Chain A
């Protein structure tokens, strides 16, 4: 494992659990820990019998040296959770310090998570460790987009270590990736001088094999990933790719 930056102790975590009850889903939100520490605060936008839509709103200035964002999401059987981010995130110059951003998603049988991630910008001087750990039971679906941007306009990026893994039933690995993005990742074959790396992940969702061939990777155990490299953040995830992934993932009530 290419983990150079230490795990930090989370000052204030975020837990979000959406479970089935009679009539309407039950949404439990908590942000335990030091109330002065920044976190992502879940805000319920909408819910129904089998679905909820939640915004993850930054509570406090994010992301600065010493910040440790941690989000634990649990989605019950047959429930669809849609997560939106009202804004992108900028990891600022940490002047020798570092920060972390850890997400854990647990999807019960037939659960669905749709996460429309916004750009995550690693400014010059930022040092960030990011992880996403997904565990999916049978029939679960995940549609997620992510855009990593090295540097704001006209600056070089900082240092980002990213770990991403998704496991299916029985702990079978579906997608496992690590990346260290810094000056060295400019080399051809990694970022090749591009500033933005966009990814769309569609797991447990059959996508028409003819759709969006550009940057498309079909995984061994089913599921599709699209990868886009661009000089500008908004071009890294083509809108038609995100639409294709969303369309493949049926809506429910």
Chain B
């Protein structure tokens, strides 16, 4: 494959038009709004996620990428992720997103060994599926971690426009202002290689909200 510059790959992966059903996700924002989160609190919510769930997700992706590159088993990565994701609603959502990502990867990199390995996993979560795509496309660990963080804040921002009365430029402003925190979170996890070192930073209120949201019948988003 011809060399593709990293920034172009990141544009491709981070594009909302990627057919992985990103529009069904609110990164927990819908549940938060149902429990009273206001538009003024959305930036703090983004920042809380970057300090907690995003680190677990980005750390999982980076360690999975390392193990794909070194042909080490992926099951310990999935087990570490699951032990750090106590909410079954959030595990289920992540696996549904993982399936969508794996379908896309199978079509783009049909010959990619990494893509085939992650697709064979029983219940491949989204960060591991992303790692498979990153390995196939030649995306490095730091870029992968940035992608996970960026995608999270952008998911919150675009969902906020459907859930709260907002000026779209304000939501984009929140994403812009969160970028230094995205970069810092990615920097923190980019060098990880051992599943035991994946951050386990809990977000208790997010977990409680996610469970209540999964039981709710009045929702726009899957999670």
Contact = CB atoms under 8 A, between A and B. Distances in A.
B199 A187 contact: no
Interface stretch (B108-116, B157-165, B207-215): B207-215
Contacts of B170: none
A44 interface: no
Given A175-B83, A175-B86, A220-B83, A190 B205 contact: yes
B202 A172 contact: no
B200 A178 contact: yes
A179 B88 CA distance: 20
Instruction: Kindly list the 5 A-B residue pairs having the minimum CB-CB distance in the complex, ordered from nearest.
Output: A173-B83, A220-B82, A187-B48, A189-B48, A217-B86
Given A178-B199, A187-B44, A190-B51, A218 B88 contact: yes
A221 to B, nearest CB: 7
15 contacts: A1-B197, A173-B79, A177-B86, A179-B201, A188-B41, A189-B205, A190-B52, A190-B204, A219-B88, A220-B79, A220-B88, A220-B91, A221-B79, A229-B204, A229-B205
Contacts of B13: none
Given A188-B41, A189-B205, A216-B211, A174 B83 contact: yes
Given A163-B200, A187-B45, A219-B88, 19 more contacts: A1-B197, A172-B79, A174-B83, A178-B201, A188-B44, A188-B48, A188-B205, A189-B28, A189-B32, A190-B51, A190-B206, A215-B211, A216-B211, A217-B86, A217-B207, A221-B82, A227-B208, A228-B208, A229-B204
A213 B200 CA distance: 24
A69 B203 CA distance: 26
A173 B51 CA distance: 22
A152 B61 CA distance: 40
A174 B200 CA distance: 12
Interface string B54-67: 00000000000000
Interface residues of B, number: 38
Interface of B: 28, 32, 37, 41, 44-45, 47-49, 51-53, 79-80, 82-88, 91, 196-197, 199-209, 211-212, 215
A225 B41 CA distance: 28
Given A177-B202, A215-B208, A188 B37 contact: yes
Given A191-B204, A218-B88, A229-B205, A2 B48 contact: no
Interface in A148-164: 163
B203 A189 contact: yes
Contacts of A1: 197, 199
Contacts of A172: 79
A187 B28 CA distance: 14
Interface in A182-236: 184, 187-192, 194, 197, 213-221, 225, 227-229
A163 B202 CA distance: 10
Interface of A: 1-2, 163, 165, 172-180, 184, 187-192, 194, 197, 213-221, 225, 227-229
A176 B84 contact: yes
Contacts of B82: 173, 219-221
Given A215-B208, A219-B86, A190 B203 contact: yes
A219 B82 CA distance: 8
Contacts of A191: 204-205
A177 B91 contact: no
B92 to A, nearest CB: 11
A175 B205 CA distance: 17
A125 B205 CA distance: 24
A189 B199 contact: no
Contacts of B47: 187
B204 to A, nearest CB: 5
Residue from A173, A194, A219 whose CB has the most chain B CB atoms within 10 Å? A173
Contacts of B32: 188-189
Nearest to B84: A176
Contacts of B201: 2, 178-180
Nearest to A219: B86
Given A188-B41, A220-B91, A178 B202 contact: yes
